Amino acid sequence: MMKNILLVLDSGDSAQLARDYALRLAVVHKAALTALALIDATPLLEGEAMPPGAYAYRTARNASMEQRWLEHARGLLDEVSGLATAQGIALTTLLAEGAYPEAELVRHAPRHDVLLVSTDSHLGEVERAHDARWLENYLLNPARPLLLFSPEVRQLSPPRCVLLAYDGSPCAARALQQFVFLGIGHDLPCKVIANHVDAAEAARLAQEGAAYLASHGLPAEALPLSSHGASSQLLIAECDSQGAALLVMGAFGHNSWKARLFGSTTRTLMRRSQVPLLMFH
Q: Which residues of 136-160 are buried (b: 16+ CB within 10 A; e: fewer)?
A: bbbbeebebbbbbbbbebeeeeebe
Rg, C-alpha atoms of the chain: 20
In contact, 120 and 130? CB cutoff 8 Å: yes
By mean pLDDT, which of 49-63, 96-110, 221-235 is the weakest?
A: 49-63
- Is the omega angle on the peptide bond into residue 158 within 30 degrees of 0, that is, cis? yes
CATH assignment of 4-149, among 2.102.10.10, 3.40.710.10, 3.40.50.620, 3.30.70.270: 3.40.50.620
Question: Structure pTM?
Answer: 0.90
- CA gap 221, 206 in Å, rounded: 8
Residue ranges of domains in the chain: 4-149, 161-280
Reported confidence tier of residue 260, pLDDT bands at 50, 70, 90: very low
Band of residue 222 on the pLDDT scale cut at 50, 70, 90: very high
244's enclosing H/E stretch is strand 244-250
Same topology, domains 4-149 and 161-280? Answer is yes
C-alpha span between 210 and 215 (Å, rounded): 9
State pLDDT tens for residues 120-176.
888 877 666 666 788 888 888 889 999 999 999 987 667 899 999 999 988 899 999
- Lowest mean pLDDT across 59-63, 113-117, 235-239, 256-260: 256-260
- For domain 161-280, the CATH class is alpha beta
Which residue(s) pair with 97 in the sheet?
A: 39
Rounded-to-10 torsion of CA 232, 237, 239, 241: -170
Task: Compute φ and ψ for 35, nearest 5 degrees.
Answer: -105, 120
